[in-house]
């Protein structure tokens, strides 16, 4: 039995391999002690760790765990998934949207960090709370999917009002920029506010990603991360905006477990 664990700031992602089968599970970072208690039940298991809380988790368990750098583990996991799904790529950007967002360029078997942004799941949760008072992430994204951004975000087409636009009219000119134009005759629901919050995160993440893709002459942007869990609106915004800007998005099934799977595979190679 082998465990690969990505102990992050918000979630602990776990991949267990046993009898040539792979099992995925996740826990809140506040439940890391419960994860440790579970691992204590399998003292002979091989354990591989990565993530910001890896050293703390190591202090709680009896196994002498293998540890890897988070970026290396995530890259290894992505490469493993791409091979599994028969979608080989040699030159691409991968964007990991977790609490914040980290962006990397991959060329064949090498990766380098190309940048990042503080926009991510943490911003959705924090801004969502400030806008609506809601704290539960699942509730936030469920509400956001029911909202309408059109009265809140100012699009290029709103500025040109039917005239020919120099860039696609559906591009956002200013997130939240239409509020002062609509405030006297529109009531903004919590769902509308949250949809706009998810929109600004998705468009920020995508903009930074495609700038990196353009710099490195990469066609594909591979998106992973726990912020996409149950968050169809964020996925839709990112996918549509990436295509609109002329690049190809690719979402990996179970991609949020790339770090956990990658550290397990690195352990096997060492």
Q: Which member of 17, 70, 203, 256 is catalytic?
A: 70
CA 81 remoteness from chain centre:
16
10 Å CB burial of residue 28 (0-12, 13-18, 19+) is exposed
Neighbours of 150 (CB within 10 A): 15
d(CA 61, CA 154): 52
d(CA 270, CA 221): 29
CA angle 120, 126, 129 (to 5 degrees): 135
d(CA 261, CA 15): 6
18 is an active site residue:
no
Among 67, 9, 7, 10, smallest CA distance to 35 is for 7
Read off the tokens for 238.
Answer: 């990112």
The DSSP element (H or E) to which 50 belongs, if any, is: strand 46-50
- Just list the catalytic residues: 70
């Amino acid at each position: 039995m082998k465990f690969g664990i990505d102990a992050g700031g918000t979630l602990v992602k776990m991949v267990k391999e046993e009898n040539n089968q792979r099992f995925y599970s996740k826990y809140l970072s506040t439940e890391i002690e419960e994860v440790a208690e579970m691992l204590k039940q399998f003292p002979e298991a091989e354990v591989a760790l990565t993530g910001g809380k890896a050293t703390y988790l190591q202090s709680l368990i009896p196994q002498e765990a293998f540890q890897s750098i988070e970026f290396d583990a995530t890259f290894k996991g992505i490469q493993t998934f791409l091979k599994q799904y028969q979608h080989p790529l040699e030159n691409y950007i991968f964007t990991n949207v977790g609490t914040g967002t980290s962006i990397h360029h991959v060329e064949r078997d090498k990766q380098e960090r190309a940048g990042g942004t503080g926009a991510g799941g943490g911003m959705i949760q924090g801004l969502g709370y400030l806008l609506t008072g809601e704290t539960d992430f699942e509730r936030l994204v469920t509400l956001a999917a029911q909202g309408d951004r059109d009265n809140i975000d100012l699009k290029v087409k709103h500025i040109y009002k039917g005239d020919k636009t120099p860039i696609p009219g559906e591009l956002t000119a200013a997130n939240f920029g239409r509020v002062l134009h609509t405030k006297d005759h529109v009531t903004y629901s919590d769902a509308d506010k949250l949809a706009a919050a998810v929109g600004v995160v998705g468009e920020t993440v995508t903009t930074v990603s495609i700038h990196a893709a353009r710099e490195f002459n990469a066609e594909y942007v591979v998106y992973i991360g726990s912020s996409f869990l149950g968050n169809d609106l964020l996925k839709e915004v990112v996918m549509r905006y990436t295509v609109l800007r002329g690049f190809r998005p690719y979402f990996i099934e179970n991609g949020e477990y790339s770090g956990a799977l990658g550290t397990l595979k690195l352990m096997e190679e060492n």
